[in-house]
Amino acid sequence: MAASDELGALTRAFSGFGVDEKALISILGKWHQEQRQTFRKGTRDFFTEDERQFERWDDRHVIQLQHEFLRFKHAIVLWTMHPWERDARLLKEALHKGPQHKVLVEVACTRLSDELLGARKAYHSLFDHSIEEDVAFGIHGPERKLLVALVSSYRYEGTKVNEEIAKSEAKFLSSAIKGAAGNKNLLENEEVVRIVATRSKPHLTSVYNHYKEITGHYLDEDLDGELYLQETVQCLCKPQKYFSKVLDASMGPDVDELKKEAVTRIIVTRADVDMKLIKEEYNHKYGVSLPNKIEDVANGNYRDFLLTLVARGD
């Protein structure tokens, strides 16, 4: 199908003039970010150019598509969104439903610095607030300081690491974890929050490795019982481990709707990033391929679209 025909098919589908779901799967499943951007820029009935330089969905059409596609809609709409808008909406929904601290940590820690900054810009446009103020206002527990720091972060992304500082901070974390055992919440330790919220990912990976050399244990394992910090460390240092764990939990028997939503969220947001590594980790950890697991738990066009996105990592 020619590019113009593909654009026409999608336009008709999103306009409500008959939804050929197989065509949507075929077209959108093979499009890369540049092609999705071309669609957004050329389809002004559905998208508008925001003053912060991203194409945003028209809210009226998002509501319409919720009724049109049901669960299938989540994957289709999120996949066609500008990544900044997608993350901004995921953050807002996470605060509205719970809040879902896991999603806040996930978005803040697994995006590049410019991607997180873009999501913060989109959040301003979409909701007339900053994500920082909404997190600070909506969360009242000891985790608030950590979560505000994470969503506010703009980490250095170069490769240089001062190994002496990394080793020193690994020793500090080891002492802090031992000192907090049964006595004090680690989230109240400002130095712990500073390290995980501001250091670069290469630096934190070095801290993670030094911690293992010093203690004989993995840092995230020693943070068992400190869920926010544990997931923060995993998202920053071992994201494939984190994503495979959340995917498996969301596809278990009798899971609630909020957990089920993680399947769509993770597959859509990681399809073009590290899906191959996530699949390898999932297979290694759970002894079954991720596509086979999806086939077992999902149905119809929703299943087919997820499998198409997962296959992009091959």
List, in order of start, the domains of the chain with CATH numbers: 163-237 (1.10.220.10), 239-314 (1.10.220.10)
Reported as a single tens digit per residue, the pLDDT across 180-219 is 865 668 999 999 999 999 999 999 999 999 999 999 999 9
According to the annotation, is 47 in a ligand binding site? Answer: no
* Residue whose token pair is 């993350």: 87
pLDDT band for 46, please (50, 70, 90 cuts): confident
Query: Is 42 marked within a binding site?
Result: no
Q: Which residue has the higher pLDDT, 196 or 313?
A: 196
DSSP codes of every residue in 113-133: HHHHHHHHHHHHHHHSS-HHH
pLDDT of residue 70: 59
Note the pLDDT tens digit of each residue in 81-117.
Answer: 999 999 999 999 999 987 799 999 999 999 999 999 9
At 150-159, the pLDDT tens digits run: 999 999 999 9
14 is in an annotated binding site: yes
C-alpha dist (Å) from residue 186 to 132, 142, 147, 225, 230: 21, 9, 14, 10, 11
In the predicted structure, residue 123 carries a pLDDT above the cut 70: yes
Q: Which residue has the tokens 């250095």?
A: 156
Measured CA to CA, the distance from residue 153 to residue 206 in angstroms comes to: 19
pLDDT at residue 3 is higher than 70: no
Integer Cα distance of 6 and 304 in angstroms: 19
Instruction: Count the neighbouring beta carbons within 10 Å of the beta carbon of residue 151.
Output: 24
- The number of CA neighbours under 13 Å toward the Cβ of 310 is 23
pLDDT at 16: 59
